Amino acid sequence: MGLTNKKMLLTLLSLCASTYLSADDSMVLSIGATSNHASYSYPGAESKTKGYGTIATLSKPVYNGWIGTGIIGYSSNNTDIDANSRHSDVDVTTLGLAASKYIGHGRNVSFSALYGKTAIDSSEIVSGNPASDSIDVNSWIFSGGLTQAIPQTFEGAMALSAMVTTINNKTQSYTNASGTAVGRSTYDISYLTVGAKQTWNTQGYTPYVSLQYNVSNEAFTTQTGDKTYFRWGTGVNKDLSKDMIVGLSFSKIFGKDYSSGDSLGFNLIKKF
């Protein structure tokens, strides 16, 4: 789930940068940070997660109206599982590229390819004794989507979006905390995200609200049948100058049977 949430953040920030610079050939730097909290209530595997994420994107027009974006991100989360006093430190490093283009009539298309490296170091109590294990996961994330802007007569804008994402996770072989060898495994998941975002322009401030619906071919969270969920968000951006924007955001996941989460974010966009 962590990689899925991170992917959404990467895409949103890169699209934000692309929109901001579309009028000229400037380069745009976007920097973002988030604080995350999540809980998991599946019987016998209850857990809580907290952590943070950082991301930087650099965007510039490259060819025939296409805007290219380089992406680098890092997140660190701590998970505590009640059943066996298991504690996990999860570190994710992400690198990727994205491209977007305005194709007319208020429409924008975007594509991205990301590579993620996840390191999970865990400790727990096994038969009354402390034990530990380490797991490495390599992930490839591909997405493509379309955004449709809807004209409005007042000082605001609405956008509808649809995006398809495919994630391929490969877990390397390891020895678990009980001393049992675990072989390599692969887990693939594809999902569709549809959403709407309403933005208002008021004296240099740009508040917004958004809602996304996600539906997948596999469970988003292992051990559950959760193949759908909603994400609600709100935030505000402030124009500090003609070349700089800062923003705050909050989002919350709901509609899952066994898990929920929220995220508080800050972002800075600078045009050069």
> Does position 1 have pLDDT exceeding 50, yes or no?
no
Residue 108 belongs to domain with CATH number: 2.40.128.130
The 3-class secondary structure across the chain, one letter per residue, is: CHHHHHHHHHHHHHHHHHHHHCCCCCCEEEEEEEEEEEEECCCCCCEEEEEEEEEEEEEEEEECCEEEEEEEEEEEEEEEECCCCEEEEEEEEEEEEEEEEEEECCEEEEEEEEEEEEEEEEEEEECCEEEEEEEEEEEEEEEEEEEEEECCCCCEEEEEEEEEEEEEEEECCEECCCCCEECCEEEEEEEEEEEEEEEECECCEEEEEEEEEEEECCCCCCCCCCCEEEEEEEEEEEEEECCEEEEEEEEEEECCCCEEEEEEEEEEEEEC
* pLDDT at residue number 221: 73
Q: How far is CA 76 from CA 31, 68, 117, 158, in A?
A: 17, 27, 12, 33
Residue 44, phi then psi, degrees to nearest 5 = 85, -5
Tell me what the pLDDT averaged over the chain comes to: 87
Q: Does the model's pTM come out above 0.75?
A: yes
> Does position 101 have pLDDT exceeding 60, yes or no?
yes
- pLDDT tens digits for 169-200? 999 999 988 889 999 999 899 999 999 999 99
- pLDDT tens digits for 66-93? 999 999 999 999 999 876 688 999 999 9
Q: What letters, b where the CB count within 10 A reaches 16 and e where it falls short, cover 215-232?
A: ebeeebbeebebbebebe
Confidence of residue 9 (pLDDT cuts 50, 70, 90): very low
* pLDDT at residue number 63: 92
Contact 197, 205 (CB under 8 A): no
* pLDDT at residue number 24: 65
More confident residue, 142 or 224: 142
* pLDDT at residue number 197: 95
The most confident of 14-18, 21-25, 53-57, by mean pLDDT: 53-57
Structural domains in the chain (count): 1
Q: How far is CA 213 from CA 72, 191, 231, in A?
A: 26, 10, 7
The whole domain housing 80 covers 2-271
Among 53, 65, 51, which Cα is nearest to 10's? 53
> Does position 258 have pLDDT exceeding 70, yes or no?
yes
